[in-house]
């Protein structure tokens, strides 16, 4: 199934509506409690993810976080469709679900709907991060570079697997800057 831009936006809206009330954490997942938003700023590459319908066939996926005046992030998400080559850019505001030092975020692409996600692991130098949706059904490995070591990939796989998700659904995201 291939989604065009309108279907993708519609799917995001539906997902946001379904998840807008999610305030709890998924089973066995706790957000980091010492989040540093200044260090989190900048470009992050989506290195791996659990397969999901909204990102099907997306490659060259990045998110660029910039702090705004009120302490939230302005985020620009970029991707390219692997088959059509169509590029998509979406702007969002990402705020904090609770407090700014807790890695529990809410992303708004269309007000008043929010997508909640949890940063449950981050490298001490903020070079990679593990995130999941509030439902605990979507997982992402983000990094400052398009590729990470096999050790980081294995650590991410272990974190997903121990929560009961099949690794067959894990995708390593193709990044043009890899080539």
Is the CB of residue 61 less than 8 Å from the CB of residue 55? yes
The span from the CA of 69 to the CA of 44, in Å, is 21
pLDDT tens for 50-79 read: 877 778 889 999 999 999 999 999 999 999
pLDDT digits (tens, 9 = 90+) for 9-39: 545 544 444 444 444 667 778 999 999 999 9
The DSSP call for residue 145 is: S
Q: Which fold has domain 5-174?
A: Lipocalin (2.40.128)
Domain ranges of the chain: 5-174
| pTM across the whole model | 0.82
Q: Calculate the alpha carbon distances from 17 to 54, 98, 114, 145, 167 in Å.
A: 14, 19, 7, 32, 28
pLDDT single digits (tens) 111-139: 667 788 899 999 999 999 999 988 888 89
Tell me the chain's radius of gyration from C-alpha atoms: 15
């Amino acid at each position: 199934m291939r989604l065009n831009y309108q279907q993708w936006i519609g799917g995001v809206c539906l997902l946001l509506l379904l998840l807008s009330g999610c305030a709890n954490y998924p089973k066995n997942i706790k957000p980091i409690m010492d989040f540093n938003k200044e260090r989190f700023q900048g470009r992050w590459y989506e290195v791996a993810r659990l397969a999901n319908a909204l990102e099907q066939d997306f490659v060259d996926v990045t998110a660029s976080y910039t702090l705004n005046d009120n302490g939230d992030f302005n985020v620009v998400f970029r991707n390219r469709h692997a088959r059509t080559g169509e590029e998509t850019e979406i702007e969002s505001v990402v705020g904090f679900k609770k407090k700014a030092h807790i890695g529990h975020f809410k992303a708004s692409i269309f007000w008043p709907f929010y997508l909640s996600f949890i940063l449950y692991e981050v490298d001490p130098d903020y070079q990679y991060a593990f995130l999941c949706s509030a439902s605990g059904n979507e997982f992402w490995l983000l990094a400052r570079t398009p590729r990470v070591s096999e050790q980081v990939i294995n650590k991410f796989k272990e974190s997903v697997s121990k929560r009961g998700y099949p690794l067959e659904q894990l995708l390593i995201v193709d990044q043009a800057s890899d080539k």
